[in-house]
Chain A
């Protein structure tokens, strides 16, 4: 993965809240594996370990997927801090993902 983190903040945002994620994957399909790796890297670089990730395999647990209306894999849910965020795809566009998760912003 390209890692062109330019001037992104390397610390977690103010308050130091723990980020709670739910990542929905479909077994070991390539997009799901990529999403796992991308998320792990993002958390390491931007949250410095203050995160919790629950991985749900929709092939094994469709009920949880339906409860969250997860139709596509991979899907990443940011549960805390509020407001919730819903991200679809393998999370390959790092800046896009960071912006959606409010981990960068106000740069322009």
Chain B
């Protein structure tokens, strides 16, 4: 299970405090989802989780029960389709020993598959099911119930009217028993009149999950459709099913909780510190824009080296090259990254942008922030992020990462490769430039039969920086800036 971060915990507690006067909630155990649900599922009510095949609805239910069992709150999983043994196996894949929880009476997996050989003759009701649930729930003091794929039983009615009637009976019964229920329902995207659409009206909370493919990259999305008596995040949120289970990544937090910018910190290059009037500010975000080979990576690595010498940790997310090739390339401007990596002050994580969807990239990045607790983050290069699927995907990734860095007071460097010669027009940086504090421009210019490198600080919030183009050279001693 994902270890909740301190920051998210605070969010959760704040959410729960706010809701104390309103309806009681039960956390799902999925940190991001609890944030979207403003605390969790409605207690003693029914929540519907609808989605297509492979959308992850059953895992959400299982994870909720496991989180409950972990906290000593017993639960029941009623399976109308899946085998008990395969659920045990799936849970083991998420690192849970279901058999142990079953022995302790904290979890009950109930096999409710109807034999395919059953013959139907005449009308019937699901009273047997209710009696079994009631008796088991009482015996183990279970308060939370997941009903998975009930349609596998209801189809025996062969009548939408009868199905609806039995579902209303079930709903009423669950409410009478004061059980907190999560029910999964299969939905087919773009279906004209979905068979179980009426359930959305009946349930107090409705969550839709789906899996879609854009530009050959699969992404998972989750949306809360309704929540009676409570506020909730109204957007579509990306989520990942990883080895820890479900991780929901709310893209937009309700409030901006950015920390104020910190004191100046050296860029690692004396001349550049002068140009920047003292260096970069801690917790600030910097965009370094330039054409290929203009020295963006070198500039970033000089900073990383200086940070490492101060004993600070840098996370370098590289979408362009592997750690090995980067270390090798940086030897030429005289930068020895190897020792920094060996000391753990520099951590390089290389990813192929198209290898996974935006939420998986985000998940990896945020997990790295949690695990490494870096003071600085460098992303090289944000222009490659478009390959995560679309411009929108890149924007989501960069915005969310930047937001998280700001909340944690992490200094953030985004390197952006400009393609044209008119770099000034290209600094927009996938629409994020408005929240960037500092923009450093690097360019190559033909001057007197030679290519000259120039550096310009285009903007730097809260500091009196130089607004001149400064010529610089990349030597085997790093970067040399001309004297001002």
Contacts and interface: CB of A to CB of B under 8 A. Distances in A.
B129 A91 contact: no
A66 B127 contact: no
Contacts of A73: 124-128
A71 interface: yes
Interface SS majority for chain B: mixed
Contact of A69 (B112, B119, B126, B134): B112
A63 B132 CA distance: 7
B118 A58 contact: no
Contacts of B129: 71-72
A89 B162 CA distance: 13
A87 B121 CA distance: 7
Contacts of B115: 69, 86
A18 B128 CA distance: 27
Contacts, number: 102
Interface string B95-136: 000000000000000111111011111111111110110111
Nearest to A59: B131
Give the contact-size bracket for chain A: 20 to 34
A86 to B, nearest CB: 4
B124 A31 contact: yes
A72 B122 contact: no
A88 B126 CA distance: 11
B156 interface: yes
Interface string A82-95: 00011111111100
Interface in A2-30: 24, 26, 29
Contact of A26 (B112, B117, B128): B128
Contacts of A96: 119, 121
A100 B119 CA distance: 7
B167 interface: no
B389 to A, nearest CB: 44
B430 interface: no
B124 A97 contact: no
Residue from the set B115, B129, B131 with the largest chain A CB neighbour count within 10 Å: B131
A26 to B, nearest CB: 4
A92 to B, nearest CB: 4
A31 B115 CA distance: 21
Contact of B153 (A71, A85, A92, A100): A71
Interface of B: 110-115, 117-129, 131-132, 134-136, 153, 156
Given A58-B131, A72-B114, A89-B120, 20 more contacts: A34-B122, A38-B122, A58-B127, A59-B131, A65-B132, A66-B110, A71-B112, A71-B128, A72-B128, A72-B153, A75-B124, A86-B117, A87-B118, A87-B121, A88-B114, A88-B120, A89-B122, A90-B123, A90-B124, A91-B122
9 contacts: A31-B123, A62-B132, A66-B132, A69-B112, A70-B128, A72-B129, A87-B120, A89-B120, A89-B122
